[in-house]
Structure 1
């Protein structure tokens, strides 16, 4: 058991938390509430102070023995450093940002043909392409899901930071990500930067969804490594053309 290990509450543990007649001790309940599948034991220990932290190991062992928690892989987006755009990336994206903003106003989508990508994921015979939609708007996610499914994708949807983490932990690695700029508890640009810095995820085509097609917003997305933009409200033809162009240019 290492301090950097990460644990999440199992369905049995969730049921225990919801129960009006819980059978576990107050320290066990307190630790169950703190284990979110994102924070490590070291981070939790630091947050509760030295006196309480000294008892966490024994409490965790009890929860594990009862099947109320389980160890999970690290959050692929939980790097300790703060991601920042480099001046070089901003400069290189500057000229293209003007073209992108103008094109978005005219045709509602823009795709960067010139961005170099790695080879597409090798799929088994008959395996469908995979896509992750990151959008907290239920109606928008349903709309995007419908058309991507029609285009032959197996689709997964995430509407919060925790759901994004969960979906990127699953196999297979997606062939495409549609990423909303604004989420209730996360920033789309930050998620994009983390994808581009991750060794297994860095080559995934990412199309940003935005209601603000300003030059500043577009510049930030291009400098962060976006493959394209689609403006909201999303038009069906713009969506299909953007997806086909991005994937066809790999």
Structure 2
């Protein structure tokens, strides 16, 4: 059954798409030009999952958006159809739209694929209108990372870029630093801390009335598609894999703050 049409090509539920070199460049850009919806679908496309499997993994509410979004990604040259081995096709379970809601095994397969490691990205998007600062007022940043060497580097780097920087490496330190004024203009947040989860901290930031609009850049040594999607869905404005490249970080900071 056709899903969408892009120019002269018809996209079917069982088609598999992979990210093109142009799309990979978009995923590694510190200032992505595509919409959040396009970005989240682009992250999901791995050259293995079919459109039907992706629809199953996102659920009914978001599945309707896939149709128009796939067309945009195709038109921009960010994705391309994968020529699947004919023998492999005959061994696949062919899904119909009516069967999607009951295909638990297919959902499990989606989750397994999304958990693949070594997924390196440099994604950043502008959060909104930058905060208006008083004349001479410096920017404020909180670095949440338990790696002493990296935290020191980020502290020096952001200080050089005009920030007053505070550092936290544990749950208690995070709570203490966020209680101190001023409200930060930027948060660099490690995904994994010894006694805290970066995604949990991100959700708490987004649910806090005074912190919910603060730009947050997630940092991680090893990302999976699942983790990147989780970060974007939880409200991360940028997602950068370690080792942190100075130029990529600078571009990401400027992008999320709207200062480039």
**TM tier relative to shorter chain:** 0.5 to 0.7
Are the aligned partners of 1:110 and 1:242 in contact in 2 as well (CA < 8 Å)? yes
- Cα deviation 1:51-102 (Å, max 9, x = unaligned): xxxxxxxxxxxxxxxxxxxxxxxxxxxxxxxxxxxxxxxx997415348xx9
Matched, 1:95 2:95: no
Counterpart CA distance in 2 for 1:122 and 1:170 is 20
| Distance change >3 Å, CA 156–CA 230, structure 1 → 2 | same
| Distance change >3 Å, CA 139–CA 122, structure 1 → 2 | same
Shift of 1:191: 0.3
Once the two structures are superposed, the pairs formed by residues 170-209 of structure 1 within 5 Å of their partners are 170-209=180-219
**Structure-1-length-normalised TM-score:** 0.56
- Equivalent residues, number: 154
Match of 2:65 in 1: none
Matched, 1:121 2:131: yes
**Structure-2-length-normalised TM-score:** 0.54
Match of 1:242 in 2: 252
Shift of 1:230: 1.1
Match of 2:125 in 1: 112
Are the aligned partners of 2:119 and 2:223 in contact in 1 as well (CA < 8 Å)? no
Counterpart CA distance in 2 for 1:242 and 1:120 is 14
The runs of 4+ residues in structure 1 deviating greater than 2 Å are 91-94, 96-99, 105-108, 119-124
Structure 1 spans left out of the alignment, 5+ residues: 1-90
Match of 2:227 in 1: 217
Give SS of 2:204's match. helix
Counterpart CA distance in 2 for 1:185 and 1:225 is 21
Select which of 114, 135, 144 maps to 1:134: 144
Match of 1:58 in 2: none
Are the aligned partners of 1:93 and 1:223 in contact in 2 as well (CA < 8 Å)? no
Structure 2 spans left out of the alignment, 5+ residues: 1-36, 46-77, 79-117
When the two chains are superposed, the root-mean-square deviation of aligned CA atoms in Å is 2.7
